[in-house]
C-alpha cells in the first residue's frame, strides 16, 4: 500500500506539470483504493485511453491526511502536557508537604528550645541560691568552730579554777584556815589578781601572766572594774587589744569586747574620746588598752602604744 501511495504521489506531480490537463471522466474501468488510515478513496484509471492517467483530488486527499496526522500529534502533546502537569502538581504537593513539615519541626524545636532555656534559667537560679546558702553555712561553720574553740578554752580555765578551789576548800576543811589565792595575789570572789610593780610592754606583760598560770585581766562587770581601780595608783595594762584588726577590740581569750556588755572607755566632754589610735608617739598607732592614763586618771580605759612600759594586772 505504501508503494501505491508513493506511485500515486509521483503521478500527481506529473499531472501538475501538464498545462492542458483535464480530469477524465469516470469509467467502469476505474479502480478505487482506500488510503491508509483514511476514508478518502484513491482512483486509478485502467481504461484503454487512460492507461497512464491517474488522478487524485489532491485538495481533498492531502488535507485529510494532514488533519489526521495533526490530530494524533495533538493527542500525544496533550497527553505529554497532562503528564507534565501531573508531575508539576505532584512536585508542588511534595514541596508543600516538606515546607509544612519544616515549619512544624521549626515550631517544635523552638518550643523545645524555649522550654530548655526556661529550665536552664531555673537551674541557674537554684545553683546561685545554693551557692549563697553554702557561703552562709560556711561562715556559720567558721563561727561555730571559733566559738567551740573559745568554749573549750573557757572550759579548761574553769576546770583549772575548780580544781584549785576544790583543793583550797579541802585544805580549809582540814586546817580551818586558808586563802584562795597564792601569796602576793588578791582575791575577789573566786578570782585572784596580781598587780605588778615592774613595768613591761604589753606583749611582755601578757607572757608574764601566762607564765604565772593566768592571763592579763579581763574586766566583765562594774564590780570587777571598781575592784581593780581601787588597787592601783597609776596606769596598768589590761588584756584588751585590736592588734589583729583595727577597731575590733578583743580580749586575750579572743572574745570581742562588745560581747561582754560593758566597756569603760574614757569619754571626753570636749575633744576626742577613747580609743583614738593616736599616731604621734608611735606611727603604728595605739593598739593595746590600759586602765588609767599617765595624766593621773585611773578609772577609765585608754588605748596606748603597745611598746610603752607599764605596770600590769594578771588574773587567774
- Where are the domains positioned within the chain? 2-56, 186-315
In this predicted structure, the answer to whether residue 65 has a pLDDT above a threshold of 80 is no
CA distance 289 to 303: 4
Please give the share of the chain, as a percent, with pLDDT higher than 70: 73
Confidence of residue 169 (pLDDT cuts 50, 70, 90): low
Residue 84 has a pLDDT of 92
CA distance 208 to 137: 39
Mean pLDDT to the nearest integer, 253-279? 91
Closest CA to 43 of 59, 29, 64, 63: 29
Residue 182 has a pLDDT of 87
Average pLDDT over the chain reads: 80
Residue 20 has a pLDDT of 41
**Which fold would CATH assign to domain 186-315?**
Mannose-Binding Protein A; Chain A (3.10.100)
Burial of 49 (0-12, 13-18, 19+ CB in 10 A): exposed
Mean pLDDT to the nearest integer, 6-11? 46
Confidence of residue 190 (pLDDT cuts 50, 70, 90): confident
Residue 8 has a pLDDT of 41
Closest CA to 230 of 291, 142, 314: 291
Mean pLDDT to the nearest integer, 1-15? 46
CA distance 58 to 40: 11
CA distance 25 to 14: 19
Helix (H) or strand (E) holding 263: none
Burial of 312 (0-12, 13-18, 19+ CB in 10 A): buried
In this predicted structure, the answer to whether residue 33 has a pLDDT above a threshold of 60 is no
Confidence of residue 264 (pLDDT cuts 50, 70, 90): very high
How far is residue 125 from each of residues 132, 133, 172, measured CA to CA in Å? 11, 12, 68
CB burial of 139-152 (b: ≥16 within 10 Å; e: otherwise) equals: eeeeeeeeeeeeee
Q: Which of 3-7, 24-28, 242-246, 282-286 has the lowest mean pLDDT?
A: 24-28
Helix (H) or strand (E) holding 41: strand 41-44
Confidence of residue 167 (pLDDT cuts 50, 70, 90): low
Three-state DSSP class for residue 284: coil
Compare 54 and 147 and report the one with higher pLDDT: 147
Residue 223 has a pLDDT of 94
Mean pLDDT to the nearest integer, 207-218? 96
In this predicted structure, the answer to whether residue 241 has a pLDDT above a threshold of 90 is yes
Mean pLDDT to the nearest integer, 26-34? 44
Confidence of residue 179 (pLDDT cuts 50, 70, 90): low
Contact status, residue 157 vs residue 209, Cβ threshold 8 Å: no
Residue 178 has a pLDDT of 56
Amino acid at each position: 500500500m505504501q508503494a501505491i501511495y508513493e506511485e500515486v504521489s509521483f503521478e500527481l506531480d506529473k499531472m501538475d506539470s501538464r498545462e492542458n490537463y483535464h480530469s477524465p471522466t469516470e469509467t467502469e474501468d476505474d479502480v478505487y483504493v482506500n488510503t491508509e488510515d483514511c476514508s478518502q478513496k484513491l482512483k486509478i484509471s485502467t481504461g484503454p485511453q487512460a492507461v497512464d492517467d491517474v488522478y487524485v483530488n489532491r485538495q481533498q486527499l492531502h488535507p485529510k491526511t494532514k488533519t489526521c496526522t495533526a490530530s494524533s500529534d495533538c493527542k500525544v502533546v496533550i497527553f505529554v502536557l497532562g503528564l507534565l502537569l501531573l508531575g508539576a502538581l505532584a512536585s508542588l504537593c511534595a514541596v508543600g508537604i516538606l515546607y509544612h513539615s519544616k515549619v512544624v519541626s521549626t515550631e517544635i524545636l523552638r518550643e523545645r528550645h524555649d522550654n530548655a532555656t526556661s529550665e536552664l534559667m531555673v537551674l541557674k537560679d537554684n545553683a546561685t541560691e545554693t551557692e549563697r546558702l553554702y557561703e552562709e553555712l560556711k561562715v556559720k561553720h567558721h563561727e561555730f568552730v571559733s566559738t567551740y574553740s573559745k568554749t573549750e578554752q573557757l572550759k579548761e580555765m574553769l576546770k583549772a579554777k575548780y580544781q584549785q578551789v576544790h583543793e583550797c576548800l579541802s585544805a580549809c576543811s582540814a586546817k580551818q584556815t586558808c586563802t584562795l589565792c597564792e601569796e602576793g595575789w588578791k582575791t575577789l570572789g573566786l578570782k585572784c589578781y596580781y598587780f605588778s610593780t615592774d613595768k613591761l610592754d604589753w606583749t611582755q606583760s601578757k607572757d608574764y601572766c601566762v607564765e604565772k598560770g593566768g592571763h592579763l585581766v579581763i574586766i566583765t562587770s562594774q564590780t570587777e572594774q571598781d575592784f581593780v581601780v581601787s588597787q592601783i595608783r597609776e596606769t596598768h595594762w589590761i588584756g584588751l587589744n585590736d592588734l589583729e584588726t583595727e577597731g575590733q577590740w578583743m580580749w586575750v581569750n579572743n572574745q570581742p569586747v562588745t560581747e561582754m556588755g560593758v566597756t569603760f572607755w574614757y569619754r571626753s566632754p570636749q575633744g576626742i574620746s577613747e580609743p583614738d589610735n593616736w599616731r604621734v608617739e608611735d606611727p603604728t598607732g595605739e593598739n593595746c588598752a590600759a586602765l588609767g592614763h599617765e595624766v593621773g586618771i585611773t578609772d577609765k580605759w585608754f588605748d596606748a602604744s603597745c611598746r610603752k612600759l607599764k605596770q600590769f594586772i594578771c588574773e587567774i
